[in-house]
Chains A and B, each alone.
Chain A
Amino acid sequence: MGRRRTSPGGSRRERPIKSKPCVFCKENIAYVDYKDYNMLRKFVSDRGKIRARRVTGLCPQHQREAAMAIKRAREMALLPYVVGR
C-alpha cells in the first residue's frame, strides 16, 4: 500500500538486533560463584577490568552477579585488580 513505515531515514544505519541469550541464563546458573575465577576471566579485560554488558552479552541480573563475583575474587587474590602497571 502507499504507506512506508519501515526503513527510517536513509542516512542512519540500522543495527541488527542481537538476540544472543546471556550465557548464565542459557546454562541455567542461579549463582555466579566467585571461586570459579577461570570462568570469571571471560568477563574481565586483559587489564583486569570488568567488561561492559554490551561486550559480555549478559542479562542485567547476571552482569550484576558476575561483577559481584569478580570483586569477591579480587578481594581473595584470585583475580588481579590491575594487570601490568
Chain B
Amino acid sequence: MGSRKRPEEASTIDTYEVMLIVIPELDEEQVESTVGRFRTIIERTGGAVSDVNNWGRRKLAYEIGHRADGFYYVMEFTAGERTLPELKRILRVSDDILRHMIVKLPPTYAHQPLPEPAEISG
C-alpha cells in the first residue's frame, strides 16, 4: 500500500501496528498469554512493543468461522529485520487468532516515539 519514501524519512524507525482478534473460547488469562506470546516474538526478533491496547471482547460485524465475537488487541511496535516475516508466519499458523492485520503507521501518527528501546531479557 502506497509507501511514500522520502530521503529524510528513511533514517527514522518505522512504527507498525498489529490488530489481533483472538478466539472467544479462551478466558482472559489465556488471551493475555496469547498476546504475550506475540509480544515476545516481536522483542525476540529485535523489535520493541510500545503500546498494548486491549479493546476487550467485542461483537464481530459478521461471523468468522461460526464465531460471533472475539477479543480485540492492538499493539504498536517497532520492528527489527526479522520481526515482520516471523510475526506474520506465526500469526498465520496460530489457531487462536481469528484475524490479524499489520499496518505501518505514518511517521507523524505514532503515539509515542519510544524514548528508549525496551531491553531484551534472555
Contacts and interface: CB of A to CB of B under 8 A. Distances in A.
Interface stretch (A7-15, A18-26, A28-36, A50-58): A28-36
B107 to A, nearest CB: 10
Contacts of A68: 1
Given A35-B19, A68-B1, A72-B101, A77 B109 contact: no
Q: How large is the interface on B (under 10, 10 to 19, 20 to 34, 35 or more residues)?
A: 10 to 19
A76 B103 contact: no
B contact face: mostly helix, strand, loop, or mixed:
strand
Interface stretch (B34-42, B58-66, B85-93, B114-122): B58-66
Contacts of B99: 75-77
A66 interface: no
A75 B61 contact: no
B21 interface: yes
Interface of A: 30-31, 33-35, 68, 72, 74-81
